[in-house]
Amino acid sequence: RLDGTPAVYHNGVMIPAGQAQVPVTNQALNYGTGVFEGIRAYADHSGGALNLFRLSDHLERLHRSARLMRLDLDLTTAQLTDLVIELLVANDTVRDTYVRPLAYKGALLPGTGFGVRLAGVSTEFAVTTVPMGSYTNPVGLRCAVSSWRRIPGSALPAAAKITGGYANNALAMDQAQAAGLDDAVMLNAGGTVAEASTANIFVVRDGRLITPPPGADILPGITRATVLELAARELALPVVEREVQPAELYGADECFLAGTGVQIAPVVEVDRRPVGNGEVGPLTSEIRQLYTDAVRGVLPRYHHWLTPVPVP
Ligand code: PMP
**The CATH classification of domain 141-295, taken from the options 3.20.20.80, 3.40.50.300, 3.30.470.20, 3.20.10.10:** 3.20.10.10
Least confident of 21-25, 182-186, 227-231, 273-277: 21-25
For position 112, what pLDDT does the model report? 65
Under the banding of pLDDT at 50, 70 and 90, the label for residue 22 is very high
Query: Residue 311's pLDDT band (boundaries 50, 70, 90)?
Result: confident
Domain ranges of the chain: 7-131, 141-295
Task: Report yes or no: 308 and 50 within 8 Å, Cβ to Cβ.
Answer: yes
Pocket test for ligand 1, best of 99, 151, 198, 264 (most atoms within 8 A of CB): 198
**DSSP-derived 3-state class of residue 203:** strand
Tens digits of residue pLDDT in 258-288: 999 999 999 999 999 999 999 999 999 999 9
Quote the pLDDT of residue 111: 67
Is the CB of residue 188 less than 8 Å from the CB of residue 149? Answer: yes
pLDDT in tens, 169-221: 999 999 999 999 999 999 999 999 999 999 999 999 999 999 999 999 999 99
- Cβ-proximal residues to 1 (8 Å cutoff; 6+ apart), any chain: 7, 90, 91, 92
pLDDT at residue 64 tops 80: yes
- Collapsed DSSP state (helix, strand, coil) of residue 267: strand
Atom of ligand 1 at shortest distance to CA of 222? 15
What is the Cα gyration radius of the chain?
20
Q: Which residues line ligand 1 (CB under 6 A)?
A: 38, 169, 195, 198-200, 219, 221-224, 259-260
Q: Determine the Cα–Cα distance for residues 233 and 218; give it in Å rounded to an integer.
A: 24
7-131, CATH topology level? D-amino Acid Aminotransferase; Chain A, domain 1 (3.30.470)
Expressed in angstroms and rounded, the spacing between residue 304 Cα and the centre of ligand 1 is 21
| Residue 280 alpha carbon to ligand 1 centre in Å | 22
Q: Which residues contact 20 (CB under 8 A, 6 or more apart)?
A: 8, 10, 126, 128
Which ranges in the chain belong to alpha helices (H)? 27-31, 55-68, 77-90, 166-178, 222-235, 246-250, 282-295
Q: Which residue puts its alpha carbon closest to atom 12 of ligand 1?
A: 221
The 3-state DSSP class for residue 106 equals: strand
**3-state class (DSSP) for residue 304:** helix
C-alpha to C-alpha distance for 104 and 108, rounded to whole angstroms:
12
Give the least confident one: 106-110, 169-173, 215-219, 225-229: 106-110
Check if the beta carbon of residue 149 is closer than 8 Å to that of residue 186.
yes
**Mean pLDDT across the chain, nearest whole number?**
95
Condensed to tens digits (0 to 9), the pLDDT of residues 94-104 reads 899 999 999 99
pLDDT of residue 1: 61
Residue 188: per-residue pLDDT = 98
Half-sphere exposure of 293 (CA within 13 A, CB side): 14
List, by residue number, the catalytic residues. Answer: 161
| Residue 67 contacts residue 8 (beta carbons within 8 Å) | no
Return the residue whose CA atom lies nearest to atom 10 of ligand 1.
Answer: 199
Judge contact between 189 and 216, C-beta under 8 A: no
Q: Is the dihedral of CA 199, 219, 235, 250 positive or negative?
A: positive
What is the predicted pLDDT for the residue at 48?
A: 80
- pLDDT, mean of residues 65-84: 97
Contacts of 114 (CB under 8 A, 6+ apart): 25, 30, 108
Element (H, E) at 195: strand 193-196
Task: Give 228 Cα–ligand 1 centroid separation in angstroms.
Answer: 15
